[in-house]
Amino acid sequence: MSRWQPNARGRLEQAALDLYTERGFDQTTVAEIAQRAGLTERTFFRHFADKREVLFWGQDALMQLVTMQIADAPDSASPLDAVGGALRAVGEMFEGRREHARRRQAVVAANPGLQERELIKLASLATAMAEALGRRGVPQPAAKLTAETAVAIFKVAFDRWISAGGDSDLTQVIEDSLAELKALTAGS
């Protein structure tokens, strides 16, 4: 094993996803992930706190992206349009990663503990969105409702995207889901 090889984080992530898919999350150890990646356990722990973090490590970057997009939305943007812009930015972040997202989601769906962690991540995302909307002057009840709606839109769009065939991208599926919600509420 060489002392240094490039892209340790990416290799660890790929090795973990491969092993989780082949053997299951609970049956895979950190030592096996490190070995598959051609690295040491020590290197694994430089990049990830535990084997769950391989699946959730991008959460902080996601929160930062979303809150920045909401903050940078034009002053004239409605709360839903502000979070819509943030969701479109998230869609762009996933560009070219559909197969990875499918595999990751299958691992999460097969493990109740990971499902719980995913729900916590989505709840944290909703809280971050609501706080960002609050900083824009949106009253708390409306900010929370908008943020929770945005997370629901994201979940539905994400599920549609990973289930879809063809060349659809997540950004377009998010756009379509937002338009669908707006059409549903316009008739009320």
What is the CATH architecture of 8-54?
Answer: Orthogonal Bundle (1.10)
- Residues 92-112, mean pLDDT to the nearest whole number: 93
Residues of the chain with CATH 1.10.10.60: 8-54
Name the H helices within the chain.
8-23, 30-37, 41-47, 53-56, 59-72, 79-93, 98-109, 112-135, 140-163, 170-186
CB-count burial class (<10 Å; 0-12, 13-18, 19+) for 13: buried
Percent of the chain with pLDDT over 70: 96
List, for residues 51-88, the tens digit of each pLDDT value.
999 999 888 899 999 999 999 999 999 999 999 999 99
Intervals of CATH 1.10.357.10 along the chain: 58-186
CATH class of the domain whose range is 58-186: mainly alpha
Write down the pLDDT at residue 96: 86
Predicted TM-score (pTM) of this structure: 0.88
Mean residue pLDDT across the chain: 93
What does the angle CA 87 – CA 90 – CA 93 come to, to the nearest 5 degrees?
160
